[in-house]
């Protein structure tokens, strides 16, 4: 197997050549005949502007701009320079813009506010905030004075690159220049504070705005409310939002916050609250709710929201449709998902990369990776090339099925098509390589990630540690735990859960308990998987009393046991011969309504009865299990067949199977 390296096809950034140089040499005085010809071909400003605006090809526009200047048929004005610089900015031709500015300076044409804003914004779009700032410092060279609007664009350029340390000094310069901030300035500062998680500072800035005579608008409030929700302060955000004028964008931020915390009741409560306040839900409001419901596979309620959306006269967009398709896939209703998309396509919705990626991810989620690959090929045929998300979903799909060849082929296709892998694609390759115990290749891949400016994250390392522990290479996994720090990754509870599971499985109990103490000392909060992992370790070691104490500790800490927890305890009781205790536990918990026994619970119980009590009792529980709609799987039948062979050795295999099927 050969994986193409991501860096092998990285495009080198070549500095653009100077697109043209205008002739600045004195023109020789023409003779009388040529003077007459020139007068006949003189152009006016409107002609030049129309030609430049209508020319779609940037090279042709540049050639024309250069030609008329050097032919002496037209002397460029501020408006023609502005038009040409605007066209260059749309194509991110920074070098061309710089040379035109120099040309303006040579010809003594002062740069206007509007033109300088175009220049600064072009730097922002290119992600060159620092260069935008340097250009701003040269503003007076071009005969232009700083204005509030220009300052705002500089601040916005710095904000887009999270250069928070530069923003407030520039704001200070603005004040020193005698320029008063406007509403746009304040909103930029609010975004900077909120991006830096300084919510208290943002709230204080609201007061400063009011003192300056500016009422916060929808952007101001939405910025603060969104940031509070992202920090998990949804209830506080709602309380704050109730104090000021309602905007649909603020409601959308709150609804999104509650949906993110799976509090759908509160989210719908806000939807019903909007209407009496005269705020009409928009397509984003409904799409957020539909997406949240779809993530949980609740297709019926998603469709009900869609129907309500139509009743309110609000049409869905392509993102609404994508969310509904996702809902069908999450619910495992693959054919309905594809049929729904075909129906939407007939109604005029055109597939974009979001829709295609939703379908690819959904098919992979349901184990239909081959069909997902076909969809990715269809994308290319329809002029919508797959992006890194498309390829990552495909690689992940192959990885989950353990198909190394399939994952490698998609990886190589991605690199060949000039698409650079992201951390998700890398982590999926780590996963599939681990499943094939190719840990040396994993080590090389992770090492290459750093050099490709795509450093591994905590999920990458947790995937590697899980793979090593599953292969009983626990010592290597512990070394990886130490190496994580070199990449700036801090182990989380998932990391420790994988290591604990690995240590318990190789019976290194003392080290496992030492790791438990380390987790406690670091103040890392346990989750249900932590408790279940330790419970499983206790049970395999025959430490039933300790296991029961741990469950008591779970309840005290407010962690609710799940089906895995109960199944571990039932299995352990049965393993130790305390089958009646397991039976009583199963009945008691089931009667409480918190949990219902599943096939694993009953198979453990049947194993206990077969091995410690007898076949007759086992058959009673087999009938009880089937009467509850839980039917035996291969593991259940193996337990019963083994028991029958042990107790009814005089019967042949055919009679035994007939007996089992008779009870089935």
Residue 608: domain span:
587-664
DSSP E strands: which ranges in 198-315? none
CA distance 482 to 500: 15
* Stretches in the chain below the pLDDT threshold 70: 1-41, 647-664
Q: Determine the number of helices (DSSP H) and then strands (DSSP E) in the chain.
A: 37, 0
Contact 503, 515 (CB under 8 A): yes
Contact 97, 81 (CB under 8 A): no
Q: CB burial class (10 A; 0-12, 13-18, 19+) of residue 225?
A: buried
* Domain count for the chain: 1
Q: Is residue 616 part of a domain?
A: yes
Return the structure tokens found at 384.
């919508």
At residue 589, the pLDDT reads 83
Q: Mapping DSSP to helix (H, G, I), strand (E, B) and coil, where does residue 514 land?
A: helix
DSSP assignment of 466-501, as one string? HHHHHTT-HHHHHHHHHHGGGGTPPP-HHHHHHHHH
Which of 298, 344, 304 lies closest to 322, judged by CA?
Answer: 344
What are the angstrom distances between the C-alpha of 475 and each of 78, 498, 610? 71, 13, 39
Contact 468, 477 (CB under 8 A): yes
CA distance 400 to 346: 34
Q: What is the pLDDT of residues 188-232, one digit of tens each?
A: 999 999 998 899 999 888 888 888 888 889 999 999 999 999 999
CA 574 centroid distance within chain: 44
CA distance 328 to 86: 46
DSSP state of 611: I
Q: Which residue has the tokens 């007459």?
A: 36
Q: Is residue 136 part of a domain?
A: no
Q: CB burial class (10 A; 0-12, 13-18, 19+) of residue 566?
A: buried
At residue 78, the pLDDT reads 92
Contact 305, 268 (CB under 8 A): no
At residue 41, the pLDDT reads 61
At residue 647, the pLDDT reads 66
CA distance 249 to 244: 13
Q: How many CB atoms lie within 10 A of CB 267?
A: 23
Q: Is residue 618 part of a domain?
A: yes
Q: Mapping DSSP to helix (H, G, I), strand (E, B) and coil, where does residue 562 land?
A: coil
CA 119 centroid distance within chain: 32
At residue 13, the pLDDT reads 33
Q: Is residue 593 part of a domain?
A: yes
At residue 4, the pLDDT reads 64
Return the structure tokens found at 639.
């337990």
Q: Is residue 620 part of a domain?
A: yes
Return the structure tokens found at 633.
């799987």
Length of the chain as a residue count: 664
- List Cβ neighbours of 492 (8 Å cut-off, separation of 6 or more): 458, 462, 524
Q: Is residue 647 part of a domain?
A: yes
* 3-state SS track over 344-372: HHHCCCCCCHHHHHHHHHHHHHCCCHHHH
């Amino acid at each position: 197997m050969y994986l193409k390296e991501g860096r092998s096809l990285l495009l080198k950034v070549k500095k653009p050549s100077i697109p043209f140089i205008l002739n600045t040499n004195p023109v020789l005085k023409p003779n009388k005949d040529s003077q007459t010809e020139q007068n006949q071909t003189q152009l006016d400003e409107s002609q030049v502007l129309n030609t430049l605006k209508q020319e779609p090809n940037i090279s042709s526009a540049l050639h024309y701009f250069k030609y008329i200047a050097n032919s002496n048929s037209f002397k460029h004005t501020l408006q023609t320079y502005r038009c040409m610089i605007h066209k260059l900015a749309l194509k991110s031709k920074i070098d061309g813009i710089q040379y035109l500015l120099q040309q303006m300076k040579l010809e003594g044409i002062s740069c206007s506010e509007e033109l300088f804003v175009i220049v600064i914004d072009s730097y922002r779009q290119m992600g060159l905030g620092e260069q935008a700032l340097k250009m701003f410092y040269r503003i007076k060279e071009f005969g232009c004075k700083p204005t509030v609007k220009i300052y705002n664009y500089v601040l916005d350029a710095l904000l887009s690159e999270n250069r928070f340390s530069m923003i407030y000094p520039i704001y200070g310069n603005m004040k020193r220049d005698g320029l008063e901030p406007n509403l746009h300035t304040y909103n930029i500062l609010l975004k900077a504070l909120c991006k830096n998680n300084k919510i208290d500072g943002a709230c204080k800035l609201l007061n400063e705005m009011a003192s300056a005579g500016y009422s916060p608008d929808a952007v101001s409030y939405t910025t603060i409310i969104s940031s509070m929700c992202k920090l998990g302060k949804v209830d506080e955000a709602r309380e704050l939002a109730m104090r000021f004028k309602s905007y649909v964008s603020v409601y959308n931020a709150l609804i999104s916050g509650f949906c993110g915390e799976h509090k759908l009741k509160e989210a719908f409560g806000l939807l019903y609250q909007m209407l009496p306040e005269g705020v009409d839900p928009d397509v984003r409001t409904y799409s957020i709710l539909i997406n949240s419901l779809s993530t949980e596979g609740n297709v019926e309620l998603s469709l009900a929201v869609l129907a309500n959306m139509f009743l309110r006269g609000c049409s869905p967009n392509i993102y609404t449709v994508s969310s509904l398709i996702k809902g069908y896939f999450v619910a495992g209703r693959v054919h309905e998902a594809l049929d729904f998309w075909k129906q939407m396509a007939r109604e005029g919705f055109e597939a974009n990369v979001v829709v295609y990626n939703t379908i690819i991810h959904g098919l992979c989620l349901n184990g239909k990776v081959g069909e997902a690959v076909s969809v990715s090929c269809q994308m290319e045929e329809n002029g919508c090339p797959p992006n890194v998300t498309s390829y990552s979903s495909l690689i992940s799909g192959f990885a989950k099925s353990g198909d190394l060849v399939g994952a490698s082929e998609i990886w190589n296709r991605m690199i060949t098509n000039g698409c650079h892998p992201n951390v998700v694609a890398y982590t999926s390759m780590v996963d599939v390589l681990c499943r094939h115990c190719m840990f040396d290749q994993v080590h090389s891949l992770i090492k290459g990630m750093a050099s490709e400016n795509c450093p591994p994250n905590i999920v990458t390392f947790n995937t590697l540690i899980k793979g090593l522990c599953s292969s009983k290479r626990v010592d290597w996994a512990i070394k990886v735990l130490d190496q994580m720090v070199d990449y700036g990754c801090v182990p989380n509870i998932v990391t420790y859960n994988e290591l604990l599971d690995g240590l318990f499985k190789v019976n290194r109990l003392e080290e496992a308990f030492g790791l438990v103490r380390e987790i406690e000392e670091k103040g890392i909060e346990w989750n249900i998987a932590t408790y279940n992992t330790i419970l499983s370790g206790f049970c395999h070691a025959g430490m039933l009393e300790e296991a029961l104490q741990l469950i008591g500790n779970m309840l005290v800490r407010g962690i609710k046991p799940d089906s895995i927890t109960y199944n571990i305890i039932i299995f352990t009781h049965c393993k130790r011969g305390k089958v009646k205790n397991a039976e009583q536990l199963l009945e008691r918990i089931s009667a409480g309504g918190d949990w219902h026994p599943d096939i694993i619970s009953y198979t453990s119980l049947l194993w206990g009865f077969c091995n410690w009590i007898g076949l007759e009792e086992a058959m009673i529980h087999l009938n009880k299990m089937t009467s509850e709609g839980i039917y035996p799987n291969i593991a259940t039948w193996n337990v019963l067949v083994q028991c029958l062979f042990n107790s009814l050795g005089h019967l042949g295999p055919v009679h035994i199977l007939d007996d089992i099927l008779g009870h089935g």
